[in-house]
Structure 1
Amino acid sequence: MSPRLHPDLTTADTEYGTVLLDQRDGRYWQLNPSAALIMRILTEGGDRDRAADTLLDAFDVDRDRALRDVDAVLAELTAAGLVVS
């Protein structure tokens, strides 16, 4: 099952990435463009490989780095309670 954003989150895209507002506690989270892209791919049903491939197309990174970034973003969003499985 793909991760999804917690239902109490509100998102807004900005020129610097995406801002998440956690309505449970009023905390804001700023995702840079690469993290925002990863979040969008994963929460729209894409898998780890698709997210990494999209990073490869959008940014100057190698595949190993892209996979590590996908794993790190997902782990941080999950640990913060912003995404659920």
Structure 2
Amino acid sequence: MPFSLRGDVSAAHSTDGLVLLDERAGRYWQLNATATLVLRALLCGASPGEVARRLTGDHPGLSVEQADRDVADLLTALRRAGLVMP
């Protein structure tokens, strides 16, 4: 399932990751480097499971189960904030 930023959400690079602006609500969201990597991969068509596996390759001490939960938690937070679709 492809993901996209909602049309009224702007993204800008920062020194630590990515800043999302919800223009409708006037709220900013700061993503760290790992959350930025996750969001970019999802926006490029990777599945949450693929992103989790990529994270475990980048962080050898991270289990697949924890990476799955972390990706799911981020995606849930972005959805609840109304930043991403679907």
SS of the aligned residue for 2:13 comes to strand
Q: Secondary structure at the match of 2:45?
A: coil
Residues in 2 aligned to 1:57 and 1:64: alpha-carbon distance in whole angstroms: 13
Structure 1 Cα separation of the partners of residues 18 and 4 of structure 2: 15
Offset of residue 55 of structure 1: 1.2
Cα deviation for residue 25 of structure 1 reads 2.0
Unaligned runs of 5+ in 2: none
TM-score (norm 2): 0.88
C-alpha deviations, 1:38-72, integer Å up to 9, x for none?
11111111101211122123334221111101100
Structure 2 counterpart of 1:82, one-letter code: L
Q: CA deviation at 1:74?
A: 0.5
The SS at the match of 1:24 is: coil
In the TM superposition, 1:4-15 aligns within 5 A as: 4-15=4-15
Aligned pairs for 1:24-35 within 5 A:
24-35=24-35
Return structure 1 stretches of 4+ with deviation > 3 angstroms.
none
Q: Report the alpha carbon displacement of residue 15 of structure 1 after superposing the two structures with TM.
A: 2.2
What letter matches 2:32 in structure 1?
N
Same amino acid, percent of matched pairs: 40
